[in-house]
Amino acid sequence: MILSLAVLVKSSDEFTKAAEKIGLHLKLSPFIVGVTIVAIGTSLPELISSIIAVIQNNSEIVAGNVVGSNITNVLLILGLSAIFAKKIKIKETFLRIDLMVFITSATMLILIMLNGVITLAESIILVICFVLYIMYIIKSKTPTGSLISPDIKNGRLKLTIYLSLAISIIFLFISAKSTIDSIVQISNLLGIGKEIIAITIVAFGTSLPELAVSVSAARRGQPEIAVGNILGSNIFNIFFVTGVAGLFGTLIVTSQIALIGSIFLILSTFLYFFAVKDRAISKWEGFFLVLLYILFLIQIVGWA
């Protein structure tokens, strides 16, 4: 499973890089490339593994993966970012609507999980919310910066980029299937629910890209990137990953995810909200978030 997760994360990274360069070659705006290809690319590990889980009739893994990833993003990744940066000072104020979408997405997920299933109709609503959010981002945000690819010369793109895209897609599906298969085997071996493995180990593994980006940005003195990365990732996980996976079949939500997962998801969402509102997260607050993540692991594993 560890090897599968490592390949899954790496192939996702290679896919995103290749797709980004192809997008630029097709003369897409660097900004559009950033908010679509790159943003979606970071959610590919969760997405592909979730789709395969549904196809293999292990849909309870999906909710565990999404809820676990979102909790991990706030409690562990934001916490570690604050610890390594010593103190995160947020200079820019996040638009009110972005924070409201962040809270709304978490609230919607909790509400649709209450009855133990996420239906096709609910999944379609989540996908629609995702499309609307992307349209809002494209319309309201001012393009900044420039994505320049050295692989584009004289209007031509190197063949290796297309090969990298194709190979990464192949490894994405192979590693995602291997990840799901290993979850099922470990679950049977240890006699614990597949969703417990998904909400802990798999959620941590698929959140590694966000961990690398956020901690690195915090250490470089760019806390807005660290905080913004978590916001975007959590919204994408709920609207995009859950919504698209739910199009392949009804998603089962176990009592562990519905109860403990929802409690910590609410807690992490509001902790993030107030942290952003205060515009500063100290090193000690970072330690507190990490301790809460450890408490979450203890509670979810203890329930199993």
Domain boundaries, the chain: 2-303
* The model's pTM: 0.80
What kind of fold does domain 2-303 have according to CATH? A middle domain of Talin 1 (1.20.1420)
The torsion angles phi and psi of 163, rounded to 5 degrees, stand at: -65, -40
Q: What is the pLDDT of residue 239?
A: 94
Higher pLDDT pick, 167 / 12: 167
| Cβ count within 10 A of residue 73 | 24
Task: Output the CA torsion sign for 134, 81, 146, 148.
Answer: negative
Half-sphere exposure of residue 208, counting CA atoms within 13 Å on the CB side? 15
* 247, two tokens: 């199009």
Q: Of the candidates 127, 91, 135, 45, which has an alpha carbon nearest to the alpha carbon of residue 228? A: 91
Q: How many whole angstroms separate alpha carbon 29 and alpha carbon 235?
A: 23
pLDDT at 80 over 50: yes
Can you say whether residue 140 is alpha, beta or left, with left for phi > 0 and alpha for psi between -120 and 50 degrees? alpha
Q: Of the candidates 267, 251, 258, 208, which has an alpha carbon nearest to the alpha carbon of residue 233? A: 208
pLDDT in tens, 211-229: 777 777 777 776 666 677 7
For residues 180-189, average pLDDT = 86
Q: How many whole angstroms separate alpha carbon 196 and alpha carbon 71?
A: 14
pLDDT in tens, 132-163: 988 887 776 655 544 445 555 555 667 788 88
Q: Of the candidates 265, 303, 251, 296, which has an alpha carbon nearest to the alpha carbon of residue 115? A: 251
Q: Tell me which amino acid residue 17 is.
A: K
Helices (H) and strands (E) in the chain, counts: 17, 6
Q: Fill in the DSSP letter of residue 191.
A: T
pLDDT at 45 over 90: no
For residues 223-250, average pLDDT = 85
pLDDT at 117 over 90: yes
Q: What is the pLDDT of residue 95?
A: 56
Q: How many whole angstroms separate alpha carbon 40 and alpha carbon 38?
A: 6
